[in-house]
A and B are shown apart, each in its own frame.
Chain A
Amino acid sequence: MRAVRLSLLAATAVAALTAVTGCTEKGNSGDSDRVIDVTATDSKCEVSKKEFPAGHVELAIENKGSKVTEVYVLFPDDRIVTERENIGPGTKQKVTAEVKAGDYTIACKPGMKGDGIRQAVKATGGTAAKRDPRLDSAVAAYRQYAQEQADATLPLAKTFAAAVKAGDLEAAKKAYAPSRIGWERTEPVAESFGDIDPKVDVRADGLEAGQKWTGWHRLEKSLWQDKKITAEDKTLADQLITDLTDWQKRVGKADITPTSMANGAKELLDEVATGKVTGEEERYSHTDLVDFKANVEGAEKSYELLKPVAQENDAALVTELDKQFAALNTLLDKYRADKTSYDFTSYDKVGDADRKQLSDGVNALAEPLSKLAAAVVTKSS
């Protein structure tokens, strides 16, 4: 681990490193320009400056309140630029973000609830980080990928919705898992919009007080557990298509950076580790392995696009990631007869020992994957 870090440092220009840590080069605008002190209390969200130069900025957050809080940097349409959750009372946290010139909102959410206490801020000037052009192409290619996934998902979701509306239980069950693949491949992008995910992909235990349960998993429960399709389900099927259409329209405008791609890849593995490996995600249909595979594919796509730059900065990491992606894919292939299909073994048929093996494979991949962002950012500015 140390060897990796040292090689990163060695490969890093001074300017790049200072940008990462939230400082600029001496003689430029000065270190403190890029650090925004955020003082959060139970009733206030004070920021030390409301204008700062675009590029890498660092929020130095201190929670002086009595509740656990979280701090968000948001685009004007409430998409999340970056966030830090679970900031305990009396603790300090730092979060960095790469922001372009424009208007933003900083929100503190004491008790981690609601819309939060908001402050308008502005990133100014043209000093946005200069990126390796290969990374810009990676971002462009990934944006295209995310759009393709959304475009391809909609017809599949419509097939699913049509079966639900026709009251055809078997056809709906058959169409369920395929309708989710594109979503699962690009979930971090969808989640960055903030409002779509809770409508289409929430599970019963994820509901907030007063929130109506809609989306795929509500229908999953009707199909597999209740074994009947109600009139309300048919309405929910329409709602799912409306929400997914919203996603399809917005996905192309998602703010994507090389680090958000890298961290998104890691987040996809986190999704697998916390939801799929346990069988919680698809608790009625047991189609968890389909989501699992899609998450891995989405992570692999981000990785492949970032690989040329990561290879230069940390060749050993790339070797390890190639190996672990291959190992996990080989392991997943044990659970489908045909490697071109998404007909995976029902997860309730996967025993504890095999689940542990899958979990071990996820850990083996996710741990090095958590270092991908650092391997990309060292050359990114």
Chain B
Amino acid sequence: MTDTEKTTAPSRRALIGWGGAGLALGAAAAGGAVAMTRTGDDLAPTAAEAGAAVEFHGAHQAGIATPVQDRLHFAAFDVTTEDRAEFVRMLKDWTAAARRMTAGKAVGEGAYGGLAEAPPDDTGEALGLKPSRLTLTIGFGPSLFEKFDLADRRPEALVDLPQFAGDALDKNRSGGDLCVQACADDPQVAVHAIRNLARIGFGKVVIKWSQLGFGKTSSTTPDEQTPRNLMGFKDGTRNIAGTETDRLKKFVWVDSKDAKDAAWMAGGSYLVARRIRMHIETWDRTSLQEQEDIFGRDKGEGAPVGKAKERDKPFLPAMKPDAHVRLAHPDSNGGATILRRGYSFTDGTDGLGRLDAGLFFLAYMKDVREGFIRIQRHLATDALNEYIQHVGSAVFAVPPGVRDQDDWWGSTLFSKEA
């Protein structure tokens, strides 16, 4: 078994960017060094950055405050096994595979060279590709806590989302006992990761739904230009940056003080995922003035109404009462702030000749009630609602990071002593 340890040890430390093992917050600050190589409006990461590996181990899971990559494959799973030990074994197998894949290595013994009579451990389509900053982030849905006698460990902050005005949720794109968010700069790397985890999970878990995303719609690195959504607008200028340790502590990471009822969540966060369909065609027929009024920003620079620059502090009363930025702003929500990592998606057409496209919204927060629910309730009168519809929804408790080689995803929840 020493062989196992040897082969799974990270061998490309020189490439590792953010969030070093065991010193996540410090490393987040150090991560600034990576971002500094970027010039002003350069949206694309440099080749070295895009290819690098993101450290898998740490106090927090990578894929939350670490810099947002350009591609997403998100999958929600249902648990089919009733055997807790078997499920824990799978989480350990998943962790081992995730540890290797995020380091740019193939799963298990690789995609070739093994026994000719057996299928290879790895599916092989990521061979020769760089680690591509792959991050894999696991979350546990409310329904998981009904299984394996976990009901008493379900955190209070992990509430079922209420019905919001205008929701048209498809149950086939909602919920899930657990989820894995795979983000990478290369879509093939992200798809490979989910595919191999699903394969390892056969017989224990099944994919319930999944979503591919491209063109990140928000950034956790503020010196980058704010990305645009499919409506052509910059949104999320004031998103929480990976370097803002104070705001991360205040709004994103669960700490032991918060987690009275769920100590196992300390260092974790809560994730809300929403598939938001955009009525692209009607939006595109909307006048520029109305588009800008709806957002409360201009379309070119992204400056708030009455201001000159994107990052100028918005003066909310200058915006229309139903402008998106005005309603979503922390000042309109008692300070409520969430960390967004959303992606654009398009899944072809909808059978009526319309683009099935929109925003796959992903947001992390310390408490779902104080974060997403509060803001989304306030957005009931959002002028943008005429052009968007929430069609999928899920919420997950995202446990703390995998500390080291011996640790595994979900250990704080599933270990007997915890």
Decide if B80 touches A360 in the complex (CB within 8 Å). Answer: yes
Decide if B200 touches A1 in the complex (CB within 8 Å). Answer: yes
Inside 8 A of B203's CB, which chain A residues have their CB?
320, 324, 363-365, 367-368
B117 within 8 A of A: yes
- Give Cα distance in the complex from A324 to B80, angstroms: 12
Closest A-chain residue to B97, C-beta based? A1
- Give Cα distance in the complex from A69 to B163, angstroms: 55
6 pairs from A and B in contact (CB 8 Å cutoff): A22-B116, A259-B117, A363-B203, A367-B202, A373-B118, A377-B115
Inside 8 A of A6's CB, which chain B residues have their CB?
1, 4
A21 within 8 A of B: yes
- Taking CB atoms and an 8 Å cut-off, the chain B residues in 188-223 that contact chain A are 199-200, 202-204, 206
Out of A2, A96, A356, which one reaches B121, CB within 8 Å?
Answer: A2
- Give Cα distance in the complex from A1 to B119, angstroms: 11
Inside 8 A of B96's CB, which chain A residues have their CB?
2
Decide if A8 touches B119 in the complex (CB within 8 Å). Answer: no
Out of A58, A360, A364, A374, which one reaches B115, CB within 8 Å?
Answer: A374
Interface residues of B (CB under 8 A from A): 1, 4, 80, 93, 96, 107-109, 114-119, 121, 199-200, 202-204, 206
- Taking CB atoms and an 8 Å cut-off, the chain A residues in 357-379 that contact chain B are 360, 363-368, 370-371, 373-374, 376-378
Decide if A374 touches B118 in the complex (CB within 8 Å). Answer: yes
Given A360-B80, A367-B203, residue A21 in contact with residue B116 (CB < 8 A): yes
- Give Cα distance in the complex from A282 to B49, angstroms: 52
- Give Cα distance in the complex from A22 to B199, angstroms: 28
- Give Cα distance in the complex from A360 to B205, angstroms: 9
Inside 8 A of B108's CB, which chain A residues have their CB?
1-2, 5
Inside 8 A of A2's CB, which chain B residues have their CB?
4, 96, 108-109, 121
A118 within 8 A of B: no
Decide if B121 touches A20 in the complex (CB within 8 Å). Answer: no
Question: 15 more A-B contacts (CB under 8 A) besides A360-B206, A377-B115?
Answer: A1-B121, A2-B121, A5-B115, A8-B115, A95-B116, A263-B117, A324-B203, A364-B203, A364-B204, A365-B203, A366-B202, A367-B199, A371-B119, A373-B117, A377-B117
Smallest Cβ distance from A82 to chain B, in angstroms? 10
Smallest Cβ distance from B342 to chain A, in angstroms? 28
Question: What mask results when residues 189 to 221 of chain A are scored 1 for a CB within 8 Å of chain B, else 0?
Answer: 000000000000000000000000000000000
A50 within 8 A of B: no
A301 within 8 A of B: no
Decide if B118 touches A370 in the complex (CB within 8 Å). Answer: yes
- Give Cα distance in the complex from A367 to B115, angstroms: 16
Given A320-B203, A364-B203, residue A5 in contact with residue B80 (CB < 8 A): no
Out of B107, B117, B119, which one reaches A20, CB within 8 Å?
Answer: B117
Closest A-chain residue to B122, C-beta based? A1
- Give Cα distance in the complex from A315 to B295, angstroms: 62
Decide if B116 touches A96 in the complex (CB within 8 Å). Answer: yes
A94 within 8 A of B: yes
Given A374-B117, A377-B117, residue A364 in contact with residue B80 (CB < 8 A): yes
Out of B93, B116, B117, B204, which one reaches A1, CB within 8 Å?
Answer: B93
Decide if A96 touches B202 in the complex (CB within 8 Å). Answer: no
- Give Cα distance in the complex from A356 to B206, angstroms: 10
Decide if A364 touches B202 in the complex (CB within 8 Å). Answer: yes
- Taking CB atoms and an 8 Å cut-off, the chain A residues in 324-381 that contact chain B are 324, 356, 360, 363-368, 370-371, 373-374, 376-378
Smallest Cβ distance from B128 to chain A, in angstroms? 13
Closest A-chain residue to B202, C-beta based? A367
- Give Cα distance in the complex from A353 to B115, angstroms: 37
Inside 8 A of A324's CB, which chain B residues have their CB?
203
Smallest Cβ distance from A149 to chain B, in angstroms? 25
Out of B4, B116, B199, B204, which one reaches A94, CB within 8 Å?
Answer: B116
Inside 8 A of A356's CB, which chain B residues have their CB?
206
Given A58-B116, A96-B116, A374-B118, residue A5 in contact with residue B202 (CB < 8 A): no
Smallest Cβ distance from A57 to chain B, in angstroms? 11
- Give Cα distance in the complex from A95 to B204, angstroms: 31
Question: What mask results when residues 12 to 23 of chain A are scored 1 for a CB within 8 Å of chain B, else 0?
Answer: 000000001110
Inside 8 A of B93's CB, which chain A residues have their CB?
1
- Taking CB atoms and an 8 Å cut-off, the chain A residues in 26-59 that contact chain B are 58
Smallest Cβ distance from A24 to chain B, in angstroms? 15
